Structure formats: C-alpha cells, structure tokens
C-alpha cells in the first residue's frame, strides 16, 4: 500500500505579497515556529496555542516578499531524527514511501522535496535541519547559532536551537539566508577533513565518491580522528542536555508521544552535578577538536550513515534514532555551522547526502563550497570518451574526468548504424549476465548539464546508469528503435576495445 505523506498540519491564508528580494517564493513553516493567527502545535495538540504575532524569522521573510503556505508536520516537540513521532502520521522519503523522511523537521523537508514550496523553515538542535535534507535529496542549512533569530520558536534545547533552511538548490538557500546575514567573501582553506565511513555499506561508495569530487575541485583531503566528535555527539542525549528539553516542555509529559515521553521523562535522573560534569567534559572535548580547525577549512561527513524503513524505526525507535545522530549531534554543542547537500542515489534508488561543517560564522564559505560541488556525474560510453570526437562537449562545459568504471552486468552494448560520428547504444536487460561495459564518469557543473543534454539526438538520451559498485550516474541510454541494423558488441566490454578490434 502506498503511504500518503502527511506534510501539513495547517494551512495559511495568503497575505498580500510585498516587494522584496524573495518576491515570488513560497515557503512552509515547521509547526514549532509562530505564524500570527495560526495555532502552533509542536505536533502535540493539547499544547497548541494561537500566537498574536509572527516569529521574527517569519516576519523578516514576509517583509522580503516570500509567501507562507502552511505549517508542517514534525517529530513532536522537535524530539527525533525520524519523522515518525507525531499524531498526524509519519512522513516518508519522497524517494520511497516505505522509508522515513528524517526528522524532526519532516514535513518541511518533504514540502520542498516534493515541489510544494520553494523553501521551508525547520529547526535544528541535533540534526533536524540536516537529516531530512539527506533523506529527501535537498539542501539543509544549519546556520551559526543565533544567526537567524529564534524569538517565536518553541524551544527544544534553548541554548542549542537553530532555525534551519531547506531548499532544492544552493542558490535559493543563499537567497533566503541573505535575509538574515550580510554576504561576505573569505578565503576558504583548500584542506578538508573526512572520516572512515560508519553506516550501511550501500552508502559507503557514495561517501567515497563525494570525497573524490571534492578532491577533483582542488581541495586536499585529510583524514581526521572522529572519536572526540563522536564523544561530543553522545553527550546530547546520553547526558544532562536532555533535561533542557524537560525544562522547556516537561509540563506536557502526560500528553506526549510514547517515545518522546520516554526520552524527555528520562531527564529526571540527572542532577545539577551531572550537568556541571558534562559541561566540563564538553569543554575538554572542545579543546581537543579545536586543533582540527587550525589545519582545515571544513569537514565533509556523511549526513547520516543509515536510512531506515518506517516499520524498522517503529520497532526500534531509540537505537535507530541514535544511529542517525552519529554524524550530526556534535555540531551545535561545538558551535559550528553546517550545510547538508545531496550526494547521489544508491542502486536501490534511495538518496545519500553529505554535510559540510565549519566553525561559527563560516556559513557563506559553506555555501560557496557547495556551489563548487554542485555537479552532475555523467557516465559516457562512446563518442564522448576522452580522445573521442565529441569529448569537447564535456570539456567545453568544465567537466572533469572522475574515474573509469564499468556498468552493472545486465547491460548490452551495440554499434549503431548510420551515426556520425560513429556511436554505440547502451541498453539494460534485467537478468542478462554480461561482462559489464566500460564507461568514463565525468563531473559536470550542474548549470551546464541542460545545455549538454540539449545536444543529444535520437536514438540516444540520458537516463540513470547503475555501475558495478552499486552507485548510479546519469548516462547515455538508447531507445530500442535505435537498434535496427545495429551490431551487438557487448563481448568487447566497451567502445574503445571494439574500435581497437576493428583496427
């Protein structure tokens, strides 16, 4: 049965549009952020109240010309990274309705990813502005603390909460953020940190590919010791910071979702001495991690190592949620900024994302870096290979060779008839067990991809190719009608080998 995504909690009657830099853009508001005259529920109806004024962030966006559409579903009281802890129904990833959307800003992310709004507001304490971006193939900016005002936002952990921005492109995320911060240019270090991947093995090749793409753009990769960051991450829910959530919303404990009640109710076991000792431990870990920033411009980490089915999370809600915070929970505790970006699809069609992380105040540096990394990987199989007649269509658009690879084994290759210059046609046949076809994977600026596709003529087109390591890339496919008069050359394993054999 296909699950319907319960994105919205309430609608907003459109206000008169104002002139401004965001005129024409629509946005959604996570339902722990106030919009005057519309109830704020935090996904807990008994706690709902109707504010008489907008949150500061909403007021600024409206004054900049943006149009609010509605209030979105969320993990109750912003407690969770899954999107299932809500009485309004669990949101799911736009890529597969059986899988979680991520939370707590679940509805806000899905509203953007499904094209219902241009951008949206979430909040981020432990990763809620990043994990849903990763699970829905969009961008999620968690800015420097207090860069976007939090007046009119129901707190989760008031000392850590940030308002976050979801968008489908870096450009839109930047436009929205510029409503709150003055752009500045800086010299971003050409060195970035990466880690040994921990998570679902299906995601590991996509993380390696993201690190390789950063290297391709001229950045130098430095492997870091992740252990102190991991220890910081564990403090957020396995330490007394959960008591700050109890201080904010503990009066609603008897009305909470069972999992949220279990988490926030557990805060009573911590004492004031525990809070001070945790703070001392955090200060020590902060000193240990500070040295990283003396050598690096940013970290490039997985946004989440795993993505789970809704049924899996409902059966094991605490442990799986904890796994999702492995790469996110430390960011606010260390006063860092972060930007989640898409990083491709797995062979099963599920998305993977990475996050760029930098010290406070480096938000625009991360946006700049993401724009450089906003590329499309294109797998070419014939006349566009390096040294072949049409390769300039790639290089003239700034594309760079990433790697040589093979397709999965269920592809056939044909030498097409009556093509100038000579071209092959690649066709996928499920169940076929061939050698795999050699391809080159090129990284092209996303802004150039459309003009490249416009040059492709029938019977060829662009689809999604599955490579032998389980990753995917955009690549050349052939219409079945184009195989009339074609010669199968699959046994050669690739176009270059076929040309060499002809000679």
- The CATH number of the domain covering residues in 376-502: 3.10.490.10
Angle formed by the axes of helices 227-238 and 272-290, nearest 10°: 160
196 SS3 class: coil
Residues in the chain, total: 503
Q: Which of 92, 101, 105, 128 is catalytic?
A: 128
- pLDDT at position 369 is 92
d(CA 415, CA 401): 24
Q: According to the model, what pLDDT value does residue 1 have?
A: 27
Beta strands at 375-380 and 472-478: parallel, antiparallel or unpaired: parallel
Q: Flag the least confident range among 51-55, 401-405, 424-428, 437-441.
A: 401-405
How far apart (Å, rounded) are the C-alpha atoms in residues 212 and 423? 29
User: In this structure, are residues 382 and 495 in contact, taking their beta carbons and an 8 Å threshold?
Assistant: yes
**Residue 49 to residue 396: CA distance in whole angstroms:** 57
| C-alpha to C-alpha distance for 154 and 488, rounded to whole angstroms | 64
Residue-wise burial string across 97-109, b where 16 or more C-beta atoms lie within 10 A, e elsewhere: ebbbbbbbbbbbb
Sign (positive/negative) of CA torsion 94, 142, 15, 62?
negative
CATH 3.10.490.10 in the chain, residues? 376-502
Strand-pair category, 67-72 with 26-30: parallel
The pLDDT of residue 236: 87
| pLDDT above 70 for 3 | no
Q: What is the pTM of this model?
A: 0.85
**How many whole angstroms separate alpha carbon 381 and alpha carbon 141?**
36
- 2 pLDDT higher than 50: no
Helix (H) / strand (E) containing 289 = helix 272-290
Convert the pLDDT of each residue in 40-78 to its tens digit. 999 999 999 999 999 999 999 999 999 999 999 999 999
CATH of domain 8-373: 3.90.1300.10
The answer to whether the CB of 402 falls within 8 A of the CB of 377 is: yes
Phi/psi of residue 163, nearest 5 degrees: -85, 135
State the pLDDT confidence band at 374, using cuts at 50, 70 and 90: confident
Over range 162-180, report the average pLDDT: 96
Over residues 199-250, the pLDDT tens digits come to 999 999 999 999 998 998 889 999 999 999 999 999 988 778 889 999 999 9
> Among 47, 104, 105, 108, which one carries the catalytic annotation?
104
Residue 5 vs residue 302, higher pLDDT: 302
pLDDT (tens digit per residue) in 238-291: 778 889 999 999 999 999 999 999 999 998 888 999 999 999 999 999 999 999
186/446: higher pLDDT: 446
Average of per-residue pLDDT values in the chain: 94
Give the model's pLDDT for residue 185.
61
CATH code 3.90.1300.10 region(s) in the chain: 8-373
Catalytic residue among 30, 142, 261, 423: 30
Contact 415, 489 (CB under 8 A): yes
Identify the pLDDT of residue 419: 94
Helices of type H across 178-221? 204-216
pLDDT, tens only, 115-147: 999 999 999 999 999 999 999 999 999 999 999
**Any catalytic annotation for residue 30?**
yes
* The dihedral sign for the CA sequence 384, 385, 387, 392: positive
Q: CA 74, CA 34: separation in Å to the nearest integer? A: 14
CA distance 347 to 472: 6
Mean pLDDT of 101-109: 98
């Amino acid at each position: 049965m296909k699950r319907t995504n319960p994105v919205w909690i309430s609608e907003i009657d459109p206000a008169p549009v104002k002139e401004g830099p965001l005129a024409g853009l629509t946005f959604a508001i996570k339902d722990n952020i106030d919009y005057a005259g519309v109830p704020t529920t935090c996904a807990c109806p008994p706690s709902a109240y109707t504010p008489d004024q907008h949150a500061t962030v909403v007021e600024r966006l409206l004054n900049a010309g943006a149009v609010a559409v509605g209030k979105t579903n969320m993990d109750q009281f912003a407690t969770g990274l899954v999107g299932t802890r809500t009485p309004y129904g669990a949101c799911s990833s736009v890529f597969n309705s059986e899988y979680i959307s991520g939370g707590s800003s679940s509805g806000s992310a899905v509203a953007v990813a499904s094209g219902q709004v241009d951008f949206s507001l979430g909040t981020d304490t432990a990763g809620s502005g990043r994990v849903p971006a990763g699970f829905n193939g969009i961008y999620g900016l968690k800015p420097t603390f207090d860069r976007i005002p939090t007046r009119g936002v129901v707190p989760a952990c008031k000392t850590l909460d940030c308002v976050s921005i979801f968008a489908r492109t870096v450009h839109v995320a930047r436009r929205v953020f510029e409503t709150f911060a003055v752009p500045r240019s800086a010299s971003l270090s050409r060195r970035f940190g990466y880690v040994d991947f921990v998570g679902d093995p299906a995601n590991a090749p996509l993380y390696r590919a993201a690190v390789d793409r950063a290297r391709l753009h001229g950045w130098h990769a430095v492997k870091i010791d992740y252990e102190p960051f991991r220890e910081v991450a564990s403090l957020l829910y396995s330490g007394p910071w959960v008591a700050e959530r109890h201080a904010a919303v503990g009066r609603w404990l008897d009305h909470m979702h069972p999992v949220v009640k279990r988490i926030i109710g557990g805060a009573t076991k911590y004492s004031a001495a525990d809070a001070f000792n945790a703070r001392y431990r955090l200060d020590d870990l902060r000193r240990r991690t500070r040295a990283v920033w003396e050598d690096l411009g940013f970290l490039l980490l997985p946004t989440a190592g795993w993505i789970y089915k809704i049924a899996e999370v409902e059966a094991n809600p605490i442990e799986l949620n904890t796994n999702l915070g492995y790469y996110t929970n430390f960011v606010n505790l260390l006063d860092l900024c972060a930007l989640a970006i898409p990083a491709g699809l797995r062979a099963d069609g599920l998305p993977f994302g990475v996050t760029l992380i930098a010290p406070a105040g480096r938000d625009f540096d991360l946006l700049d870096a993401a724009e450089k990394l906003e590329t499309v990987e294109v797998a070419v199989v014939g006349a566009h290979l390096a040294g072949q007649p049409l390769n300039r269509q790639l290089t003239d658009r700034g594309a760079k060779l990433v790697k040589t690879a093979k397709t999965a084994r269920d592809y056939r290759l044909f030498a097409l008839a009556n093509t100038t210059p000579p071209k092959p046609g690649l066709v996928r046949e499920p169940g076929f067990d061939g050698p795999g076809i050699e391809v080159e994977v090129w990284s092209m600026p996303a802004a150039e991809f459309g003009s490249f596709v416009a040059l492709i003529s029938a019977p060829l087109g662009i689809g999604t190719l599955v490579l032998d390591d389980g990753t995917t890339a955009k690549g050349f496919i052939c219409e079945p009608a184009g195989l009339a008069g074609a010669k199968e050359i699959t046994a050669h394993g690739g176009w270059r080998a076929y040309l060499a054999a002809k000679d």
